[in-house]
């Protein structure tokens, strides 16, 4: 329901180039646009720098439940970070919508409609272990990168079953089925 409500606002922000630095007088949004840049709210406008794509980096299949569990953990971590480290509800909303919209960019990668390879930034993902302090609390220190760095150390696993002749149709069908089952 929230995504249905907020999606039009994100679309307007993307289409109109809204500046979010101190948006609505909220100092918690100070320097917001410096992360990805004021014209790239959800980091859709970037080119990857593929640094690793070889036989060492091969995808392997796990059961879907294992994958869903890991993604549920990431989902709940995003909620934890937003609700424990942002007190201003407007800022929570804008930051979450930026995160949500950036995942849409990966969806475009998966459907091969973005023009980018399907992969991930290894340098950025390596910070996963830095979320917590030794006492178990969420860390608050700067990881030392900005949003414009995302994609500059891109790893592309090989070995998927993508077939240029049949996959556009089958992936499109899978995407449409998943969209039909979702709430937004």
Structure tokens at 66: 């294992």
What DSSP state is assigned to residue 22?
A: T
Rama region for 167: left / alpha / beta (φ>0; ψ in -120 to 50; rest) = alpha
Domains held by the chain: number = 1
178: in domain: no
Where would I find the H helices in 86-166?
89-110, 122-125
- Per residue in 71-116, pLDDT (tens digit) is 899 999 999 999 999 999 999 999 999 999 888 889 999 999 988 8
Q: Please, which pLDDT band fits residue 133 given cuts at 50, 70 and 90?
A: very high
- Per residue in 16-35, pLDDT (tens digit) is 578 888 888 888 888 787 77
What is the DSSP pairing of strand 120-121 with strand 154-155? antiparallel
Q: Examine the pLDDT at 170 and tell me if it is beyond 90.
A: yes
182: in domain: no
- Per residue in 89-98, pLDDT (tens digit) is 999 999 999 9
Which residue carries 């979010």 as its tokens?
20
- For the four alpha carbons of 10, 14, 20 and 21, in that order, the dihedral sign comes to positive
184: in domain: no
Which residue carries 């929570």 as its tokens?
92
Q: Domain of 26?
A: 2-172
Q: What is the pTM of this model?
A: 0.77
Distance CA 30, CA 152 (A): 25
What DSSP state is assigned to residue 145?
A: -
């Amino acid at each position: 329901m929230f995504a249905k409500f907020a999606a039009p606002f994100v679309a307007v922000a993307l289409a109109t180039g809204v500046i979010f630095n101190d948006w609505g007088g909220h100092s918690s949004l100070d320097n917001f646009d410096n992360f990805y840049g004021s014209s790239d709210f959800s980091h859709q406008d970037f080119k990857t720098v593929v640094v690793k794509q070889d036989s060492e980096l091969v995808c392997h299949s796990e059961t879907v439940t294992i994958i869903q569990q890991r993604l549920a953990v990431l989902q709940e971590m995003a909620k934890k970070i937003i609700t424990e480290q942002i007190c201003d509800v407007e800022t929570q909303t804008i930051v979450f919508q930026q995160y949500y919209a950036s995942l849409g960019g990966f969806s475009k990668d998966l459907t091969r409609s973005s023009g980018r390879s399907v992969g991930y930034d290894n340098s950025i993902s390596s910070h996963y272990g830095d979320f917590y302090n030794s006492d178990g609390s969420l860390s608050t220190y700067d990881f030392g990168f900005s949003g414009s760095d995302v994609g500059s150390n891109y790893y592309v696993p090989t070995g998927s079953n993508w077939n240029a002749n049949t996959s556009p149709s089958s992936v499109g069908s899978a995407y449409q089925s998943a969209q039909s089952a979702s709430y937004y």
